[in-house]
Amino acid sequence: MYKNLKEIEIAKQLISPPGDTLAETMELKGISQPILAMRMDRPLKTINEIIKAKTAITPETAIQLELVLGIEAKFWLEREKNYRLELAEIEHAEALLNTKEFITQFPLAAMKKLHWISFEASVTSMANALYAFFGVTGEEAYYNYYHKNVYQTAYRMSTQNKKNPFAVSAWLKQGEHLADKIKVPVYDASKFKEALLEIKNLMAQQPKDFFAQLQSFCANAGVKVVHTPCLPNTQLHGSTRWINENPLIQLSNLYNRNDIFWFTFFHEAGHIIKHGKKEVFVEGLKYSAEEQIKENEANEFAVKYTFTKAQENEVLENIPLNKKSIYEFAEKFNTHPAMIIGRLARIDKKLNATGHQFNIFEKVDLSAS
């Protein structure tokens, strides 16, 4: 692959069309263009355009050249194919050099560090890696497909919230790459609702392999769950969208906290249960008034499964709390202690027992997932 303008210019000078070989062969055999045209029963203009690489050698022409010049047709076809491919590579590399301003809007270094893409230190290498990641041929195709189609809502909300929309789209796309590796049956709403009850138990117990179990419970109901670390200038908690006939829940584990992780999961599950297949929900962005209604519905769904308002009121009636009482309430409500602490911290950051005196905000380790 050509890395810079100098290499491209050299390649342009060195590239040789099949017309060069044809002209050399005609000279060796003492055949002029008019004579070759008559013997092939082709217009002189066509022969001239083949020599000047303005016209490609077709299978029909290759057979005629074999009959007249004694050089196999497959030689001419292979010569033409290699020339056109090399010419396309030169033109492609030249076009890539003009996309530097566009591709540098993506957090390429972070994407490379996370092993999402791999590239060398050249614009053409970075551009090729980025376009391959998104599965598009270039800048215009990216805009037409992703920003005007697949991630239109996320793009609009990102720009309104001063987040990098290109980083957001890369984060969403990586979720799809991970989802492609997960094989699941067709989505079954009743099975998913049953799975959520098991997942509530999983949240409360949180074994070391909880994420693998979470994926398994959801997969059995036709729901894909993936973990994708955040990219710079995104600050996203999660996302829900449908890919073909299956919903995808993408979690970032932003802030590495149990309460946020589990609330986000059940929030995304709420979108699946309550809302349409065509919508893309990305948590961590501000919504319009109409969109916020659906966000509120998903929030209420998450509250129901993590730590209800009635349970919250019961805890508040027993202030002040200590570590022992918090764990007792967590066991009673079949939730994670961090859900209680997180809620109390949001209610009043000055409460004495909000986790500051003990490590209630246990870290969620998804580094291996």
Q: Containing H/E element for 240?
A: strand 238-243
Q: Of 82-96, 104-118, 144-158, 329-343, where does mean pLDDT reach its minimum? A: 144-158
Region 88-97: mean pLDDT is 86
Please give the share of the chain, as a percent, with pLDDT higher than 90: 69
At 358 the pLDDT is: 36
Q: Which domains does the chain have, with CATH numbers?
A: 5-97 (1.10.260.40), 103-150 (no CATH), 165-303 (no CATH)
CA angle 303, 305, 309 (to 5 degrees): 40
Region 274-278: mean pLDDT is 86
The yes-or-no verdict on residue 153 having pLDDT over 50 is yes
The yes-or-no verdict on residue 263 having pLDDT over 90 is yes
Q: Bigger pLDDT: 246 or 367? A: 246
Q: Bigger pLDDT: 289 or 364? A: 289
- Rounded Cα–Cα distance for residues 127 and 114 (Å): 17
- Rounded Cα–Cα distance for residues 9 and 238 (Å): 46
Residue 5's pLDDT band (boundaries 50, 70, 90)?
confident
The answer to whether 103 touches 130, Cβ cutoff 8 Å, is yes
Sorted by sequence, the CB contacts under 8 Å of residue 218 that are 6+ apart come out as 192, 195, 199, 224, 225, 249
At 349 the pLDDT is: 56
Residue 227's pLDDT band (boundaries 50, 70, 90)?
very high
The yes-or-no verdict on residue 192 having pLDDT over 70 is yes
Full-prediction pTM beyond 0.85? Answer: no
Q: Which of 305, 279, 308 is nearest to 293 (CA)?
A: 279
The yes-or-no verdict on residue 346 having pLDDT over 80 is no
Angle between helices 18-29 and 73-97 (to 10 degrees): 140
Region 300-306: mean pLDDT is 96
Q: Which of 104, 177, 98, 93 is nearest to 128 (CA)?
A: 93
Query: Mean pLDDT for the chain?
Result: 90
Q: Bigger pLDDT: 84 or 6? A: 84
Q: Which of 143, 96, 98 is nearest to 119 (CA)?
A: 96
At 7 the pLDDT is: 82
